[in-house]
Structure 1
Amino acid sequence: MFIIDHFEFLAQDGTSPKSQHSAIGGAGTYAAIGARIWLPPSRVGMIIDRGIDFPPEIQSTLDAFGDIWLYRDHSGKTTRALNSYIGDLRNFEYLTPRIRLTPKDLDGTRLERASMLHFVCSPTRASAIMNEVREKEGWRPTTIYEPIPDRCVPEELEALVQVLPHISILSPNAEEAFALLSMPLPVSRERIEEASQRLLDLGSGAAIIRSGALGACVAVPGHPIRWVDAFWTSTDEDKVVDVTGAGNSFLGGLAAGLLLESGDIYRATFHASVSASFVIEQPGLPNLTGEAEWNGDSPQRRLEQLRTRK
């Protein structure tokens, strides 16, 4: 679901805003760009419900990435949400009715029977999505499920267990995985590996726990648990400007990597890490600065550098 995000930073007493701005949002948007970093526009797609209030400057920004957006025009407003901050505390609320997407929305578009499907939602809604997928005879996409943060609570674990056997790859971040599994903080590589193994034991086809500067923990049944470094680590603080959308773009990069690496999840995760590296270098989406160049750098160069890192 495409969202126009409004950000409001309030004074400590919760009254007058210290600053306000709007930006392109939506987990799917960032995931699409994470995939687009590696693939031509014809291989990537996302439906955008475009209301009568769709800003021209946002249209121009999106068009710069090529023909990856499938617009559906309607007479209402574009989905908008307000993110209010008081210090580190965040409140999120929708300002307009949501227009949710399901696999059936892909029917009749070039995305019908896509080979990769990424979605962000509650475990219960993930089950409904997978039911729609299974209803279409012969369609068995690789599914990348990102549990929505506010449903990563112990009470949702039972519903998650019900859908795990139908999901190709589950990918929460470390804090979300710990919350689902009732594991106390803080996180560490050793305890993240424990969480990954527990997710496999619960029935996950594969689990990738995104762990910020610690990297990504990749757990695939029948293989040892392995790590892929974050491209920008804790020693590169000047490169990390805004982590909004980093996890979403990571999973878009993962989908692209799975295509390029013939389904090898571990090797695909290197593509994922590189995609996230471009998204966190600035507020908002990265810039396409050449035919195969983003933010003035080559994804392929970063991929090769990451693979050779010791």
Structure 2
Amino acid sequence: MHFCTLGMFIIDEFVFLDDAGNPIATQPIAPQIGGGGTYASIGARLWLPPSQVGMIVDRGSDFPPSMESKLAEFGDIWLYRNQASGTTRALNTYRGDHRSFDYITPRIRITPRDLEGTPLQKPTTLHFICSPTRASAIMSEVEQVSEWRPIVIYEPIPDRCVPEELSALTKVLPQIDILSPNAEEALSLLSLPLPPSKESIEEAASKLLKLGVGSEGKGAVLIRSGSMGVCVAFKNQPMRWVPAFWTSKDKDKIVDVTGAGNSFLGGLAAGLFLQNGDIYEASFHASIAASFVIEQQGLPAVSTDNGTTLWNGDNPQRRLDELRQRVGIDN
């Protein structure tokens, strides 16, 4: 098993308000498949067979059969645990241009101990989304498992990307192989001014590296920067950028960016597997994974054509080749 996430499966519900907080009369949106772990798993699955991807899904009696059918399309990558308390649900409230996210049921968190004795135990790459304090607790559990030192991809949770959390983040960074906030989160953590620019993003990446990401000089910081692409920073090496496949010029292709960052990191993990640990090369796989997620609301469609697996009717390898050509890399 190469990739496993500790992120959750969530059923997302939606409310739309105007700037004054009054409900907007729109066509109701049915509850949708959500959760950072779900999207990260899809990002990895886009490149890897089901046998190399896994995630625990806590399934309550309220779990919609239509969602289970949709998840089944991606293969046997879901380890279901039945929960009498119900499935985790969250409310996404859109007020003008602002989006807020609130859990409306108790969260059922997943820890490394939950993987023991399952097909998901000891994956070679572990992804999680949480606060710095919880990241430390997760890494303490990882260290207690004998003969397991996974590649660790840490995605800090957005509402904890504030200066007050920087001290707790610094404590766990030596145990993290890849740290990946988005641009706004990185600047917020470091009290740098918004909006992001390439210069400020590179400054943030440099500062985060200096805080001690990784051990033995092997850590990396990847700052996900929307249509600007991703800033890839390594210790003692020049900073590099990998472009987004869809950019601000492709507005008709960008439908919903929900889950884009999560799927990027799942795609990154898959790229590490396919590119022998080369983080820069893996970032191209990550960018392509995100490109498929933002083309629609919810998860992409997967199909097969003459033995080739297609996503939204397109071949990920074709997009990868095109993206590499844009930056002058021969395929």
**TM tier, shorter chain?**
over 0.9
CA–CA distance in 1 between the matches of 2:18 and 2:236?
52
Instruction: Report matched runs for 1:249-260 at 5 Å.
Output: 249-260=263-274
Q: Does 1:306 align with 2:323?
A: yes
In structure 1, the partner of 2:54 is 45
Q: 2:231 aligns with which of 195, 208, 217?
A: 217
In structure 2, the partner of 1:233 is 247
Instruction: Report matched runs for 1:173-188 at 5 Å.
Output: 173-188=182-197
CA–CA distance in 2 between the matches of 1:309 and 1:228?
10
In structure 1, the partner of 2:3 is none
* TM-aligned CA distance change 1:228 to 1:285, over 3 Å: same
Q: Give me the CA root mean square deviation.
A: 1.0
Give the letter for the 1:136 counterpart. V
Q: Does 1:275 align with 2:311?
A: no
Matched position secondary structure for 2:81: strand
In structure 2, the partner of 1:125 is 134
The superposition leaves residues 231-284 of structure 1 with CA deviations (integer Å, 9 ceiling, x where unpaired) of: 011111111111000000000000000011011000000000000000000011
The structural deviation recorded for 1:89 is: 2.3
CA–CA distance in 2 between the matches of 1:229 and 1:37?
19
The structural deviation recorded for 1:185 is: 1.2
Q: 1:189 aligns with which of 181, 185, 198?
A: 198
In structure 1, the partner of 2:280 is 266
CA–CA distance in 1 between the matches of 2:259 and 2:167?
27
Q: List runs of 5+ in structure 2 lacking aligned partners.
A: 1-7, 214-218
Q: Does 1:296 align with 2:275?
A: no
Is the contact between residue 11 and residue 18 of structure 1 (CA under 8 Å) also seen in structure 2? no
Q: List runs of 5+ in structure 1 lacking aligned partners.
A: none
In structure 2, the partner of 1:166 is 175
CA–CA distance in 2 between the matches of 1:134 and 1:119?
15
CA–CA distance in 1 between the matches of 2:309 and 2:11?
27
Count of aligned pairs = 310
The structural deviation recorded for 1:17 is: 4.8
CA–CA distance in 2 between the matches of 1:134 and 1:125?
14
Q: 2:121 aligns with which of 107, 112, 122?
A: 112
CA–CA distance in 1 between the matches of 2:99 and 2:267?
27
Identity %: 66
CA–CA distance in 2 between the matches of 1:18 and 1:172?
35
* TM-aligned CA distance change 1:235 to 1:90, over 3 Å: closer
Q: TM-score, normalised by structure 2?
A: 0.92
